[in-house]
A and B are shown apart, each in its own frame.
Chain A
Amino acid sequence: KQEVTQIPAALSVPEGENLVLNCSFTDSAIYNLQWFRQDPGKGLTSLLLIQSSQREQTSGRLNASLDKSSGRSTLYIAASQPGDSATYLCAVDGSGYSTLTFGKGTMLLVSP
């Protein structure tokens, strides 16, 4: 059974810092990996999707990498801003049928 772990569980940084969020998964036979953002009491916003054949994806200040063989992904956030404060969720699709397994998330707080 696929398990997704995210480290750290919580992170607090001052504005402007670059930071890295980690995601690991136990079964490397995945079709894709996604990073989502969730604001308190809200739904999910998709940030980046990495197909299993890709190594990284970039969107603005966000860069996600994928090392499928080692079962790891990182989300890099450059020049963090208070508006980046949210919970970041990592999810993998191990079935190819859009069935996602989520991690518990990293709660990020960026202080002004």
Chain B
Amino acid sequence: GAVVSQHPSRVICKSGTSVKIECRSLDFQATTMFWYRQFPKQSLMLMATSNEGSKATYEQGVEKDKFLINHASLTLSTLTVTSAHPEDSSFYICSASPGTSGGYNEQFFGPGTRLTVL
């Protein structure tokens, strides 16, 4: 089956620093990758959608200058949380799809990254 990995699985950082999270599709090429954030006992909230080689599309209310997304290859997308603050502490999950954003293609989810900002 399609496997998506995330690294790191957990990260603790100091307030004001930047953190990079990687999302990789291990056995398929992911034209589209999605980044979600999940607070305790809350829904997964879509942050942004990225297509390989183009700029990410951010959901309303998500600061694109704070959450930098790079989808430079068909197997790797990165999310960088810049100048992290305690309120950015959350569970970040990526998903990858082998198709484009036009029309449904199944998403395969990564295991998530727990970010704690002190």
Q: Contact residues of A with B, CB < 8 Å?
A: 4, 31-32, 36, 41-46, 49, 89, 91, 93, 96-105
Contacts and interface: CB of A to CB of B under 8 A. Distances in A.
- Which of B41, B102, B107, B111 lies at the interface centre, i.e. has the most chain A CB atoms within 10 A of its CB? B107
Contacts of A31: 104
Interface string B68-101: 0000000000000000000000010101010101
A98 B49 CA distance: 10
Q: Nearest 5 pairs between A and B by C-beta?
A: A44-B109, A43-B111, A102-B43, A43-B109, A102-B44
A96 B104 contact: yes
Contacts of A42: 111-112
Given A96-B103, A97-B103, A98-B32, A43 B43 contact: no
A25 B111 CA distance: 26
Given A43-B112, A93-B104, A98-B32, 19 more contacts: A4-B43, A32-B104, A36-B109, A41-B91, A41-B112, A43-B109, A44-B44, A44-B95, A44-B109, A89-B43, A97-B49, A98-B104, A98-B105, A99-B101, A100-B34, A100-B44, A101-B43, A104-B41, A104-B42
A99 B49 contact: yes
A43 B44 contact: no
A91 to B, nearest CB: 8
Given A4-B43, A103-B43, A43 B93 contact: yes
Contacts of A100: 34, 44, 46, 107
Chain B interface size, under 10 / 10 to 19 / 20 to 34 / 35 or more: 20 to 34
Given A97-B103, A98-B97, A100-B46, A43 B41 contact: no
B65 interface: no
Contact of A44 (B32, B93, B104): B93
A91 B46 CA distance: 12
Given A46-B106, A96-B104, A98-B104, A105 B43 contact: yes
